Structure 1
Amino acid sequence: MTSWDIKPQGVQSQLKLTGERAGDLEKALNALMGHMSEAAYAAGTAVPGSAATVPNAARQGPVATGQVPLSHRGTMGPVGAALSQYLEKRQPDVKAMVDRIQAAVLGAAKATNEYIEGDLDAAKHAQDAAKNVRLDELRDATGGAK
């Protein structure tokens, strides 16, 4: 572990870039949720006339921030139900993606800070926690145990 050669300014610029890209990803995911929600609503139903306006609270997938849940818009048809189920199935993947990005950023920042302070064991611990997506360890670590 004594052979590290980290350039803190380079890490800082990469973390800033990663943060910007994570913001872009958040916008894209929120737009996806909004568009899928609109598509589900616009697809209509397989029921004739006014029967389609009865709320169906049983079918509701993830909803983007600021969007009205699908169940508050009226009955959902088969296309809307399929889109809702698709989003529900993808939600764990999205959460894992967010957690991995957060772990990578926190781990790199903590490892670099420990490197600057000269605590290479704490830096390795932060790197390992980030690699294993251990957000609890990264948030709670105080470091500086020289």
Structure 2
Amino acid sequence: MTKWDISPGGVESILSLVGLAADDLGKDVKGYAGSVEEAVQFAGTISGPYCGAVPVGPVGAAVANFVTDTEGRIRFMVARIQKTMDGTVKATTAYVAGDLDMAAQAQREAVKAPTPAELRAVGEQKSHHGGGK
């Protein structure tokens, strides 16, 4: 049988670190969006002189396509981190509640009077170890 030994304080500490890393990731993603816009704007074109808005060249278009292709993966990653953190909190809470329930049940059982079967078992143990009736 597998034994679980979860330290709620340890879980909280790790989740705190994961939360900080997720915050940093969020900042990086926001910075990434700004950097991509600049990259698309300044990637240059193969066109001649122009008037008005800067045309998007092939490198800028490739960068924009890359961002479009990876946007869903980034959203998935952020959602997965959040879901994992939420699940960890729920699982740890259930573990602690289960421990409390099991401890309470063990205490209720411990204060009960011995059953006839338990009394017989004690008598049988004595006779097997040389103690007689």
Give the structure 1 partner of residue 56 of structure 2: 76
Q: Which runs of 5+ in 1 are unaligned?
A: 54-73, 120-146
Is the partner of 1:40 in helix, strand or coil?
Answer: helix
TM-score by length of 2: 0.66
TM-score by length of 1: 0.61
Q: How many residues align?
A: 99
Per-residue CA deviations over 1:33-92 (Å, capped at 9, x if unaligned) read 211210110123233233462xxxxxxxxxxxxxxxxxxxx4311111110000111112
Whole-angstrom distance in 1 between the partners of 2:52 and 2:46: 8
Give the structure 2 partner of residue 109 of structure 1: 89
Higher Rg of the two aligned structures: 2
Q: Which runs of 5+ in 2 are unaligned?
A: 100-133
Q: Alpha carbon RMSD of aligned pairs, Å?
A: 2.0
Give the structure 2 partner of residue 90 of structure 1: 70
More helix per residue = 2
Using the aligned pairs only, state the percent identity. Answer: 40
Q: Structure 1 segments of 4 or more deviating over 3 A?
A: none
